[in-house]
Chains A and B, each alone.
Chain A
Amino acid sequence: MSDHDPDLEPVHDDAGDVVVAGIDELPDDAVKKTLGWAFWVCLAWLGGLVAVAMLAPFLPIEDPTEFRVGPTNEGPSWSHWFGTDKAGRDVFARAVWGARISLVVGFFAITFGLVVGGTLGMLAGFLRGWVDQVISFIFFAVLSFPALVLAILIVTSVERSLQTVSLTLGVLSVAPVGRLARAQTLVFAEREFVHAARVIGAKNGRILVRELLPNVLIPMGALGLLGMGVAIVAEGGLAFLGLSIAGENAGSLSWGKLINESRSIRDLQNIPHVAFSIIGVMFLTILSLNFAGDRVREYTDVRETAF
């Protein structure tokens, strides 16, 4: 704040938002802070992907598991956009069906992490004392495992289905999300609007939900986008080890599995388009999630940087 105009002292309004006096005098780039066109491009890609994935059974695309819908080992063409693989299956259809699994796993995992981790983290940060110590130690212990190693440990002792793999990755995302939620709660719990709420007689539950939750939710939104990317990659890692969803039907295809199936030396030499088209789709998706998450974080950070 030292190099800013002293007139621009932050003022809190009743919702805890910061109202900066004389906002018109801020430099141009601070006023015109928008999400930017690239953000909307990313969102359009993600939205299109979700739509295509959801509608996959109704779209005029080939059956992803049917052999010889075209010639084998053919490069991309008008009738088969991503070409065909060594069994003559349509790679585009497989990419679309892979998106279904990858997106569902990613979405479920991070949602689970946000709900459970967010709740635990906020409770720890708000209640402090022994609750905080116990929860923080559990977070710390879980984070002491390399995440993928812990995932392997869990999936070895269960039947590997869409549900168990999603849940495993969800459990793994609890600790990192929870730690951030706790840190955010700690910061906001000491702010004036929380003290004010307490002074006028608000109970713990009300302070948590009405005062703290909205402020913790904002960074969580950005984390949700980034975390979904991490979860999709983690599922891919498991699939690469042959430890993701078991089976051969369309309900077990994920991007990781599709890349893993087409990465043998011989396949890479003869039909590299199979692995690379899936890698391309996956890369664009992770890039979009990361970029959108990053933009949301920067965009919502604006009030914090006003200090």
Chain B
Amino acid sequence: MRSFLLRRVLQLILVILAVTFATFASLNIIGDPLENLVGPIIAGTDCDAVDRGEIEDASSTGGSRTDCEIIREAEAEYNLDKSIPVRYGIWASEILRGDFGRSLITGVETKELVKNRLPQTLKLVVYAQVIALGIAIPWGVSTARRANRGFDRASTIGSFGLLSIPNFALGVILLWLFALRWELFPAGYDDSSLSQEFKSLTLPALTLGLGLAATYQRLLRTDLITTLQDDFVHMARAKGMPPRWIMYRHALRPSMFSVVTVFGINTGALIGGSLVIEQIFFIPGIGAAVVEAVLRQDQPVVVVLVALIAVAFVVVNFFVDLFYGWLDPRVRAS
């Protein structure tokens, strides 16, 4: 177990380095770094000419700071005179120390932005996973128990259809049906009270969770059908145990491997999906923050947010791996 853990931790560190470097590099290798940092309009200002007094220094974004102030800050903050690996080292060590930098355009600390926006996204993702598992487990169990009968066949068609609806389309459908037609849930985000927040997160979480539930149900059904043919299940049945007990206490746990495997992988799809779904339901989460920063051409903020999302995804998968190793001892040996 110890060498398994050590190998995984080493791999984790290596991947985090690769992922953050790739993110950072996108800012520094494609195109002109200064232009990426402050956008083409500000970067086009000739600061030497301003110094010589030939042209007026102004703010082309309408902010309180002039273009040249922003350029100078960008050059100093991101050490544009140094080589890319050195810049990455400085950037990464600052992030490790909790300094996420700040937007050169709005001046808002990225750390504040994360602090304000992360909770909503986190709640949404967790809520979606809870909904997905809450639907998939009973669904998978009931279809596996009566495999190839009417309900199971209808479920196969249903989950296939569900997996063919793009998540944003499902979001629009749910928004229209539950928020506009039937007015059961609010159409926007409302965190005035806990119950209101819960209510307004239900539709977006359902949007993300339904597709996931279909994925989990397919896997759980297949694994359960295999498990149900095992001797220990026959034994339990022969002893006269109630079918429900056999299903949930005996057969379910050894049938969860596939679901656990894709649980981690799907977290990535879920994060990507939440970026889009946050737009539909007006949730001020990380996704909305990324999109705002992208449309503002505020690359330093984009890069930090993307790096954080990628690292979070890697870490989730790391823990899923560990959990998997704990569930199935054979994994540790390989």
**Known contacts A156-B294, A242-B291, A291-B160; is A144 also within 8 Å of B314 by CB?**
yes
Do B294 and A243 touch (CB < 8 A)? yes
Q: Flag whether B233 is at the interface (Cβ < 8 A).
A: no
Complexed CA–CA distance, A283 and B294 (Å): 29
Q: Mark each residue of chain B from 88 to 131: 1 if its CB lies under 8 Å from any CB of chain A, else 0.
A: 00000000000000000000000000000000000000000000
What string of 1s and 0s marks CB contacts (under 8 Å) between B119-150 and chain A?
00000000000000000000000000000000
Q: Is residue B226 contacting chain A, with contact meaning CB distance below 8 A? A: no
B276 touches A146 (CB 8 A): no
Cross-chain contact B276 with A241 (CB below 8 angstroms): yes
Give the distance in Å from the alpha carbon of A268 to the alpha carbon of B172 in the complex: 9
B:144-165 near A, CB below 8 Å: 160-161, 163-165
How many residues belonging to A are interface residues under a CB distance threshold of 8 Å? Answer: 43
Main secondary structure of the interface of A (DSSP, over half): helix
Chain A to chain B contacts (Cβ below 8 Å), 20 pairs: A141-B15, A145-B306, A145-B310, A146-B269, A146-B310, A148-B271, A148-B272, A152-B290, A153-B306, A233-B166, A233-B167, A237-B167, A237-B272, A240-B276, A240-B279, A241-B275, A241-B276, A241-B291, A268-B180, A279-B173
Task: Looking at the assembled complex, report how far the CB atom of B306 sits from the nearest CB atom of chain A, in whole angstroms.
Answer: 5
Q: Given A145-B313, A279-B172, A283-B164 in contact, is the A157-B276 Cβ separation under 8 Å?
A: no
Binary per-residue interface labels of chain A (139-167) against chain B in the complex, 1 for a CB within 8 Å, 0 otherwise: 01101111111101110111000000000
Chain A contacts for B271, CB-based, 8 A: 146, 148-149
B23 interface hit (Cβ, 8 Å): yes
A290 within 8 A of B: yes
B34 at the interface (CB under 8 A from A): no
Q: How far is the CA of A283 from the CA of B162 in the complex (A)?
A: 10
Q: Identify which of residues 27-43 in chain B touch chain A, using a CB-to-CB cut-off of 8 Å.
A: 27, 30-31, 36
Answer yes or no: B309 CB below 8 A from chain A CBs.
yes
CB closest chain-B residue, reference A288: B164
Inter-chain contact A275/B164, CB cutoff 8 Å? no
Interface: A70 (CB within 8 A): no
When chains A and B are docked, how far (Å) is the Cα of A276 from the Cα of B31? 40
For the complex, is A269 an interface residue (Cβ under 8 Å from B)?
A: yes
B217 at the A interface (CB under 8 A): no
**Which B positions have Cβ atoms within 8 angstroms of A?**
14-15, 18-19, 22-23, 26-27, 30-31, 36, 160-161, 163-169, 172-173, 175-176, 180, 187, 268-269, 271-273, 275-276, 279-280, 290-291, 294-295, 297, 299, 302-303, 306, 309-310, 313-314, 317
Kindly state the separation between the CA atoms of A31 and B269 in the bound complex, as whole angstroms: 39
Inter-chain contact B272/A241, CB cutoff 8 Å: no
B122 to chain A minimum Cβ distance, whole angstroms, is 14
Q: In the complex, which of the residues B160, B279, B303, B309 contacts A290, with contact meaning CB atoms closer than 8 Å?
A: B160
Question: B299, A259: Cβ atoms under 8 Å?
Answer: no
Given the contacts A145-B268, A152-B306, A237-B272, A157 and B36 also touching, CB distance less than 8 Å: yes
Distance to closest chain B CB from A29 (angstroms): 12
Asked if residues A148 and B164 are in contact (CB atoms below 8 Å), the reply is no
CB-based contact A157/B27 at 8 Å: yes
Say yes or no: is A99 at the interface (Cβ < 8 Å to chain B).
no
Cross-chain contact of B317 among A144, A240, A287 (Cβ < 8 A): A144
Q: Is A256 an interface residue (CB 8 A)?
A: yes
Are B169 and A279 neighbours in the complex by a CB distance under 8 Å? yes
Q: What distance in Å separates the Cβ of B132 from its nearest Cβ neighbour in chain A?
A: 16
A51→B271 CA distance, assembly (Å): 36
Chain B residues with CB under 8 Å of A174's CB are none
Q: Could you tell me the distance in whole angstroms from the C-beta of B160 to the nearest C-beta in chain A? A: 7
Residues in B whose Cβ lies below 8 Å from that of A147? 268-269, 272
Minimum-distance CB pairs A-B, first 4? A148-B272, A146-B268, A287-B164, A146-B272
Most buried by B among A157, A236, A265, A287: A157
Interface centre among B19, B164, B173, B268 (most CB of A within 10 A): B164
Q: How far is the CA of A276 from the CA of B173 in the complex (A)?
A: 8
* B164, B294, B299, B314: the one within 8 Å of A229 (CB): B164
**Interface presence of A263 (CB below 8 A):** yes
Q: In the complex, A136 Cα to B18 Cα: how many Å?
A: 13
The answer to whether A290 and B163 touch (CB under 8 A), given A144-B310, A152-B294, is yes
- Cα separation A141 to B167 with both chains bound (whole Å): 25
Q: How far is the CA of A148 from the CA of B275 in the complex (A)?
A: 8
Please list the residues of chain A having a beta carbon within 8 angstroms of any beta carbon in chain B. 137, 140-141, 143-150, 152-154, 156-158, 229, 233, 236-237, 240-243, 256, 259-260, 263, 265, 268-269, 272, 275-276, 279, 282-283, 286-287, 290-291, 294
Contact in complex: B299, A157 (CB < 8 Å)? yes
Contact yes or no, B172 A141, CB < 8 A: no
Using Cβ atoms and an 8 Å threshold, which residues of chain A touch B280? 240, 263
- Which residue of A141, A154, A243, A256 is within 8 Å of B26 (Cβ)? A154
Interface pair B168/A236, CB less than 8 Å apart: yes
Residues on the A chain within 8 Å of B176, using CB: 268, 272, 275-276
- Please state if B172 and A286 are interface contacts (CB–CB under 8 Å): no
CA distance A146 to B311 in the complex (A): 10
Docked Cα-Cα span, A130 to B168, in Å, equals 41
- How many angstroms between the C-alpha atoms of A283 and B211 in the bound complex? 14
A297 to B164, CA, bound (A): 17
Check A290–B294 contact: CB distance below 8 A: no
Q: In the complex, what residue of chain B is closest to A237 when comparing beta carbons?
A: B276
| A283 & B169 in contact (Cβ 8 Å cutoff) | yes
Is B279 a contact partner of A157 (Cβ separation < 8 A)?
no
Alpha-carbon gap, A229 to B27, bound state (A): 30
